[in-house]
Structures are given as C-alpha cells and as structure tokens.
Amino acid sequence: MRITILTLFPEMFTGLVENSIIKRAIAKGVAEVKLVQIRDYTKDKYNRTDTPPVGGGAGLIQKCQPIVDAIRDNSTPTTHKIMMSARGRTYNQSVAKEYSKMDDLLIVCGHYEGIDERVNSYVDELVSIGDYILTGGEIPAMGIADSIIRLLDGAIASESLEDETFNDNTVEYPQYTEPYDFEGQTVPDILYSGNHTAIDKWRRKQSLLLTKKHRPDLFEKLSLSKQDLKLLAEDPDVTPKWEQEAMEKGHKFIKNK
C-alpha cells in the first residue's frame, strides 16, 4: 500500500517512518510512505503557499494552486484522496480497516487558519479525528497512517490484532505480566488457571464491564449475546461458579505462580 502525505512540514514525519513497526513495515515492502512538500509546487514569486483571507479575518489561508497541483502530480484515477477537516466524517477503527484495503491513499494536511474552500472539490472526502483544534493536519495524518499500516498483512503478527480495542465496539480486557504481586496489586488467579476457555470468558466479561463503565456510547451499540447478558448479570462481589471451578482445577498452576 502507498500512502502519500501532502504537507508543509514533512520533517514532522521523521519519527513515524523511522521507528518501530512502521519502519519495519516499510522495509519489508508492506507499505510505502511518500512525503510531498506542498511548497515545492507554489508558483508564487515569493514562494508563498498562503495569503490573508478574502474579505478580511485573522490568520492565513492556504492557496488552491500549490495543493491542487501537488494532488494532481501525486495521484492516479484510483487514488483515494482525503483531506483533514473539522467538518469531515469522524475517523475510527472501522474507517482504518476500510482504508487498509486500499492500494493508494493520499492525505492532504492543512495548516495555519485553513485551506481555500475550492480545494475540497479535488479530494474524495474530508476526515476529522475528533472535535478539537490542532495547529495543522500533520498529527492527524500520522495517526491515520499508523493505524492503517499496522493492519496490513505482514506489518505485525495477525494474532496481535484479534482482540484489540474497538474491534467489536468494546474496549480491550485488562492485560497483565510478571510480577504476580506489585505493591499489593496482584494478577487475577484465573489467568494462571491454564483453562483457556475460562480465561477467554473472564476476558470477555471484563471487556464488557469496562466498556459499560468507560465508554457507554460504545456499549449502547453492542449486540449482546445470551452469554454476554449472563456474564453481566453475575454478582460483582461473588466469584462465579465457572471461574471458581477453573481455578480449582488449575490449582497446581496457580500455586506455582
């Protein structure tokens, strides 16, 4: 997959393309990230890419010509072109999965006070990462590129993607590693039981409870199964029978933790 990013500040993306998972994905040929300096396309004799808004107002507005020429020079008829905008559809994991199935994505990063309205007609859609203001579209573009590339085949182990937050409108269950006891906080014994069916059941229950508590907006979207409803109905102050039985059968593993 190729991701082309049009920006006035390509140096901001150094950390994205030269570190960890993204760097390895690029090295393996799983993804290509192309950074394009919008200023290289300006025809302004002073090398400007922005001017004051027509009609007055604060700040500077990015001009049409450099961005449109950069789009034309770095896209094909099959390129999906998006631009970061507060009025765009909200980016989420479902959109990340949608984009990860594409071969060619182009992202336009705005900066300063905004972009000339007419540029909108040269992209396929507007995208927002949330209801807050940043100084430019570079940080949102980094987030989008990162979230897409990690989903591509060969970027990371497929099993690492299976139980992630937002995969089914739930947040992820609690994760633990050694030591068993850290300053009085212990790893739940069920995770040492060796009973993977019970562990999966416990994780599902925790995921549902955490989603209900921290993201009620997501919880309302869930289609709960009969087992989900049964898990949610369990007394929070009593260890359920299925969990107790799993720990009793796995006593030797728990004892040796």
Read off the pLDDT of residues 77-127 as tens digits, 9 standing for 90 and up.
999 999 998 889 999 999 999 999 999 999 999 887 789 999 999 999 999
Q: DSSP states of the chain as a string? A: -EEEEEES-GGGGHHHHTSHHHHHHHHTTS-EEEEEEGGGG---TT--SEEPPTT--SS-EE-HHHHHHHHHHT--TT-EEEEEEEEEEEP-HHHHHHHHT-SEEEEEPPBTTEE-GGGGGGSSEEEES-SS--SBSHHHHHHHHHHHHTTSBTTB-GGGGTT-TTTTS-PPPP---S-SEETTEE--GGGGS--HHHHHHHHHHHHHHHHHHH-HHHHTT----HHHHHHHHS-TTS--HHHHHHHHHTHHHHHT-
Place of tokens 């799993």: 246
Res 125: pLDDT: 96
C-alpha count within 13 angstroms, C-beta hemisphere, residue 21: 14
Task: Provide the pLDDT confidence category of residue 30 given band limits of 50, 70 and 90.
Answer: very high
Indicate the pLDDT class of residue 256, thresholds 50, 70 and 90. low
Asked whether residue 196 carries a pLDDT value surpassing 80, the answer given is yes
pLDDT computed for residue 131 by the predictor:
87
**Beta pairing class for 125-128 and 50-51:** unpaired
Q: What is the mean pLDDT of residues 62-70?
A: 95
- pLDDT on residue 202: 95
> If you count them, how many residues does the chain have?
257
Please give the structure tokens belonging to residue 8.
């006035």
Q: What pLDDT was estimated at residue 166?
A: 52
Longest Cα–Cα distance in the chain: 79
- pLDDT at position 119 is 94
pLDDT at residue 160 is higher than 80: no
| Cβ count within 10 A of residue 14 | 10
pTM above 0.85, yes or no: no
